[in-house]
Amino acid sequence: MFQLIHQYILSLLIFSPLVFCGLSLALKDLKAIRVLAVLGSFVTFLFSCHLWYYFDESLTGIQFVQHYQWISSFGISYFVGVDGINLLLVMLTTFLTPLVLISLFEKKEESTKNLIRLLLSLECGMLGALLALDLVFFYVFWEAMLIPMYFMIGLWGGKNRIYATTKFIIYTVFGSLFMLVAALLLYLQHYEQFGVYSSSLLDLYRVNFQNINTELLLFSAFALAFAIKVPIWPFHTWLPHAHTEAPTVGSVILAGVLLKMGTYGFVRFAIPLFPNAVELAAPFILGLGVFGIIYGALVAWVQPDAKKMIAYSSVSHLGYVVIGCLSFQNSSLNEEALLGAQYLMINHGISTGALFFLIGVIYERRHTRLFSEFGGLAKNMPWFAVMLIVATLGSVGLPGTGGFVGEFLVLLGSFQAKPIIAIVAALGVLLGALYMLTFCKSILFGPITKEENRSLKDLSFVEFLYITPLSLLVVFMGVCPEFFLKKMRTSVHHLSKTYHHYELLVPDQPFVSAVNKIEKRG
Amino acid sequence: MNWLEMTLCFPLLGAILNGLILRSESKTLAQIVSVTACFLAFFSALFLSYDVLTHHEGLKVYHLASWIEAGSLSVPFSFLIDPLSSLMLLIITGIGSLIHIYAGGYMSHEKTTYRFFAYLNLFVFMMLLLVTGENFLIMFIGWEGVGLCSYLLISYWFEEDKNAKAGMKAFLVNRIGDIGFLFAVFLTFKQFGTLSFLDLKNILLNSHTLTQEMQNSIALICLLMLVAACGKSAQLPLYVWLPDAMAGPTPVSALIHAATMVTAGVYMMTRLSFFYFLAPQIMTVVAVLGCLTAFFAATIALVQNDIKKVLAYSTVSQLGYMVMGCGVGGFGAGVFHLLTHACFKALLFLGAGSVIFAMHHKQDMMEMGGLKKYLPKTHAVFLLGVLAIIGVPGFSGFFSKDEILWKAFNYPVIGPYLWAFGTLTAGCTAFYMLRLYTLTFCGENRSDHHTKKHIEETPVIMWGPLAVLAFLSVFIGFVGVPAVIGDLVGIPNFFEHYLEPVIKMPHAAEENWHFLRDHHSHALEWTLMGTSTSFVLLGALLGFNFYKRGPKGISLILKKKFSRTHKFLTNKYYVDEFYENIFVTPLQEMSQFLWKIFDLIFINGFINGVGRGLMISSALSSWKNSGGLQTYAVFFVLGCLVFLGFFLK
């Protein structure tokens, strides 16, 4: 049994949410569906813990590989695997989903049933996209993720939900289509060079472009798709709308995981597939990233709506991730910066997730998110205040929270590579504190100006249940970053040094090392 | 568990207990927890210092765990105990304990004191991290951590908008300094590949010549760290947050904004003295900046009416002295002043707190007066504090201030000017402190009838700690009696000797600092000492006489005569307004523009425009595929006509 789970762990991980989603169709009662869904997502989380535990951080290659031919004449296969680059994002996904589902526990509406089902299928889509090592397979999941999100915003959203969700879908699909064309061209290029069809990433990494212009063109198509997803300035205007209109759970997933798909795409696909093109385009993208940091922070500062503010702050934060991913130095990537960027992705998922949850908490009570409607909440909601301040500090990057570790490493690394980038980006550290503290102040502090706010209740038990883990994690990630960094280090080092001729090794007998490890421990 | 872990652990434990676990409404419980935590930390620090100073030749490094490891960067949780950090440990936990006790009395009318005490303990913890950290980053945890606690404590009474704003201002202005700190770290790492203080010290102390590039980097690092120090230690031009920080409860002002946190910049420069010695040009900047700050803040303090504001500007001014001391190469003198200042300024703030407490939270000195007879105990200790700060010979402030002025005088070229400004500042200090004292304690009481009826001496929990601080303020100076006096009465300069192992001069820097070893005639030193003392006495006399009849008489005449200067000073040179108009407002307007015009109209408009354009073009093209037979028939006929016309021509 254990052997079986171990062998098929990735498939179990990807499809168990879908299985539970299917099971939930058989149930009629909302309560039963809720329990089943939380249980299901928790099982998925346990699977990912298994992955975490048996993941061998000393190997550079991919582990837990499953590789089956899908359409063999075209060389398309079901190919999944884990390395240090996607492991933490998988963990983030499986960690956030149960919390999101728990947060629906206090919802009484019948329509919540379908929301739950959508969330489960979304989890399947995200995990598939993260774990895929076959370009076609990846593309299928990449697009599949959009569908649940489209309905989530379109059906459970606010006033302008149709506009927001249409914009979201058209924008992302627009980018993805370019990527699809580029992927096809890449696939043909591979055929030209090696005489076989294959859409496996491991094979495509070997493609050499004779013509730098071709490479640049293909890179641009991929980069556009990812840049829209991140979003890198100026492709960000769908995000504030999507966030404001999305229900709390949608925002948490969107900010927590979906945005990282963009930066993950850069690291997994764009950089190793088109190394020369990336090097050429890097100064341009770095410029956009740095500009986005400042721009996002300034615009966030003057937002009247809490969710819009967090949305713009995401533009700012992901700017750090972008500059961390693209800090080239002496024909290698700066390792500290790359590691910091990976770390920042996780931390942003946690702290922004917490912030969206907390805004959801007061939205539930007051049905508004305008700053002018709040103020002085710390008096009646002390625990809410504690949690909000912790999340704020995580977002500000105070030492002792995860945000610091990530931001520090990114800035340190990019300072070694391109000082000017780091110098401008560091302004974001100041502006970040500016808008986050303004946010905190206008919600928590000052006199209570609205009568309705006098009788607000502090966090309920369920709210505690889904917010506390995030708050604890914000601190834990700051104090013990080693716990996470060690899992990523080898893979990040490998990528940063060898992205020019990147190779991901699949161990001949993928399970031997892991099984040995089990025996050693057991 | 070793002494270091215990020292660090107790305050953190106290904070967690009070803030997250107990959250008890009971004031006594909250106070007992936090006072106990602080006292235990004090005793652990005592044992720790004793242990390290006697058994480990005054230096011990503790590696507790690894923290961040990435690429070639490796930052462990490691701590350094040496004479400097043990001194700081004892100041923080010792004076901290006294203030914790006092706070119990001061906050006795508050509802949720657990929050207050939790923050206070957290602050002590962060401050301990700051002073014991063995590398830049551990110090930085403390550096930003104390900033956080300062933010939380300033806005402790968050119901008032003004307090929340003051807290934010403190945090943000400090962040400007923190960015300087971060870049110093980046540059250090780039240049030396390590962030450990001891490693850096070893590298620099043992190198005899430095390349030009290395020297430039060191100068830049020193400059960046100076920016950090300006933020935390409230020097020009970043001092603006400190006076506003007085919005916090008074014990907080005493602990954070007088005795400990604001001196972090001085501590940090001393810790990095081996860097600073190698950058003589930056040292000049440091000295001038400190001197200007000292004078500038003292002039503002001359005319303030809020008792805490006077003390706040006085703190800025005294910090200026310390920074100047560091800048002229007298790091020992700077730290010595840090020590004496911690005692007498804590005393003064707590004393002012007692006055405010007795006056039912009135802070305007114009409404006080004659409190001598209502608060005899507070008055007695406060007077000792005043004598200590203005530097009456024999009191602690005298020795430390004199040491700095003497070191400043010996600085080449600009030394005498530094000394002159320093002495003038000492005169101003005496004037405004006596003004404060006279307006508060002497003459007739000017408060309204209701308040006057209820003025009572504070309970022992409040004046007890004051008595201890008063004792220290008077006598602590004797640990560092300068040689010129010490030789006469037979007291060695204990303090200078104590810090010697910390403040080492790199070989490569020696030629720039030979004047530190030069011998000067005792006559000169006596003359300078006499001059500055007479300035102090003059200032004190004027201050007392101008205000002994309250805000009437000579002071009123002067105020009328120099009304323009007076207005300029009361408005603090309009610095806050300047910053507001030059930085904050334009930034806000730009952000509004970026959002409303650039983001919504320009980018979003463009994208929506593309969408709309596509829709229109598709609507146009869909018109021909409408599915209506008639339309198709019309097209068919038209097509036929065209076709026929073509062929029939």
pLDDT in tens, A117-135: 999 999 999 999 999 999 9
Task: Give the pLDDT of residue B624.
Answer: 67
Nearest to A335 among B71, B112, B158 (CB): B71
More confident residue, B491 or A16: A16
pLDDT score at B340: 95
Give phi and psi for A305, each to the nearest 5. -115, 130
Interface touch A399/B144, C-beta < 8 Å? yes
Give CA–CA dist A288/A227, Å, rounded. 10
Is the CB of A493 less than 8 angstroms away from the CB of B71? yes
Instruction: Report how far apart the first and last C-alpha atoms of chain A are (Å, whole number).
Output: 16
Q: Which domain holds residue B93?
A: 1-134
- Taking a C-beta distance cutoff of 8 angstroms, is the pair B158, B273 a contact? no
Amino acid at A181: V
Q: Is B252 left (phi over 0), alpha (psi -120 to 50) or beta?
A: alpha
Question: What is the helix (H) or strand (E) element at residue A332, kind and residue range?
Answer: strand A332-333
| Residue A102: pLDDT band with limits 50, 70, 90 | very high
Shortest Cα distance, chain B CAs vs residue A482, angstroms: 6
Report residue B600's pLDDT band, with 50, 70 and 90 as the boundaries.
confident
User: Within this chain, do residues B110 and B165 fall inside the same structural domain, yes or no?
Assistant: no
ipTM score for this prediction: 0.93
The alpha carbon dihedral of A400, A403, A406, A407 has a sign of: negative
Helix (H) or strand (E) holding B90: helix B83-106
Contact between chains at A485 and B68 (C-beta distance less than 8 A): yes
Is B402 in the A-facing interface, judged by CB distances under 8 Å? no
Give me Rg for the CA atoms of chain A: 22
Measured at the alpha carbon of residue A399, what is the angle toward residues A393 and A402, in degrees to the nearest 5? Answer: 70
Tell me the mean pLDDT in the region A72-82: 91
Q: Are A240 and A311 in contact (CB under 8 A)?
A: yes
Picking from B539, B554, B570, the residue at the C-terminal end of a domain is B570
Mutation pick from A302, A371, A381, A442 vs chain B, by most beta carbons of B within 10 Å, is A302
Nearest residue in A to B21, CA atom: A383
What band does B308 get if pLDDT is binned at 50, 70 and 90? very high
The pLDDT value recorded for residue A85 is 93
* Per-residue pLDDT reduced to its tens digit, B362-372: 898 888 888 88
Residues 187-246 of B with CB under 8 A from A: 187, 189-190
B239 with B338, same domain: the answer is yes
For A189-200, the pLDDT digits (tens) are 999 999 999 999
Q: Are B311 and B445 contained in the same domain?
A: yes
Of the pLDDT bands very low, low, confident and very high (cuts 50, 70, 90), residue A218 is: very high
Write out residues 595-624 of B within 8 Å (CB-CB) of A: 595, 599, 603-604, 607, 611
A510 pLDDT band, cuts 50/70/90, is very low
A-chain CB neighbours of B590 within 8 Å are 298
Vertex A497 angle, CA A492 and A500, to 5°: 115
Same-domain pairing of B260 and B273 = yes
Pairing label, strands A76-82, A328-329: unpaired
Same domain, B297 and B442: yes
Given pLDDT bands bounded at 50, 70 and 90, which one contains residue B649?
low
Q: Tell me which chain A residues have a C-beta less than 8 angstroms from the C-beta of B190.
A: 415-416
Q: What's chain B's average pLDDT?
A: 90
pLDDT in tens, B19-58: 999 888 888 889 999 999 999 999 999 999 999 988 878 8
**Of A103 and A515, more confident:** A103
Contact, A394 vs A436, CB < 8 A?
no
Question: What pLDDT does residue A514 have?
Answer: 47
Task: Please indicate, yes or no, whether residues B484 and B497 belong to a single structural domain of this protein.
Answer: yes
Please report, rounded to a whole number, the percentage of residues in chain B having pLDDT higher than 90.
61
Position A511 scores a pLDDT of 46
Question: In this complex, do B68 and A413 lie within 8 Å of one another by their Cβ atoms?
Answer: no
- Inter-chain contact A302–B588, Cβ cutoff 8 Å? yes
Q: Do B586 and B556 reside in the same domain of the chain?
A: no
Q: What is the pTM of this model?
A: 0.93
Q: What is the pLDDT of residue B236?
A: 87
Residue B550: the pLDDT is 76
Please indicate whether, in this complex, the C-beta atoms of A446 and B68 are within 8 angstroms of each other: no
Calculate mean pLDDT across residues A441-455: 90
Task: Check residue B636 and give its pLDDT.
Answer: 81
The number of folded domains in chain B is 3
Query: What's the confidence (pLDDT) of residue B596?
Result: 85
Please state the separation of Cα A64 from the chain's center in Å: 21
Residue-level pLDDT at B426:
96
Among chain B residues, CA nearest to A494: B71
- Non-local CB neighbours of B248 within 8 Å, separated by 6+ positions: B150, B153, B154, B155, B156, B163, B166, B167, B256, B257
Looking at the fold, whether B158 and B61 belong to one and the same domain comes out as: no
Quick: pLDDT tens for B566-594. Answer: 888 888 888 888 888 888 888 889 888 88
Q: Does B141 lie in the same domain as B30? A: no
Question: Measuring CA to CA, how many Å separate A218 from each of A76, A178, A209, A213, A412?
Answer: 20, 9, 10, 9, 31
Handedness of CA B276, B278, B282, B288 (dihedral sign): positive
Interval A230-276: pLDDT, tens: 999 889 999 999 999 999 999 999 999 999 999 999 999 999 999 99
**Across all residues in chain A, what is the average pLDDT?**
92
In this structure, the answer to whether residues B395 and B432 fall within a common structural domain is yes
Q: Is A372 exposed, middle or buried (0-12, 13-18, 19+ CB in 10 A)?
A: exposed
B243 in the same domain as B282: yes
**Nearest CB partner across the interface for B161, out of A413, A447, A481:** A447
Of the three residues B522, B555, B570, the one that is the final residue of a domain is B570
Which one of B134, B164, B197 terminates a domain? B134
SS3 of A233, please?
A: coil
Residues of chain B contacting A386 with CB distance shorter than 8 Å: 19-20
User: Average pLDDT, stretch A82-88?
Assistant: 93
Residues B124 and B173 in one domain: no
Q: Note the pLDDT of residue B496.
A: 85
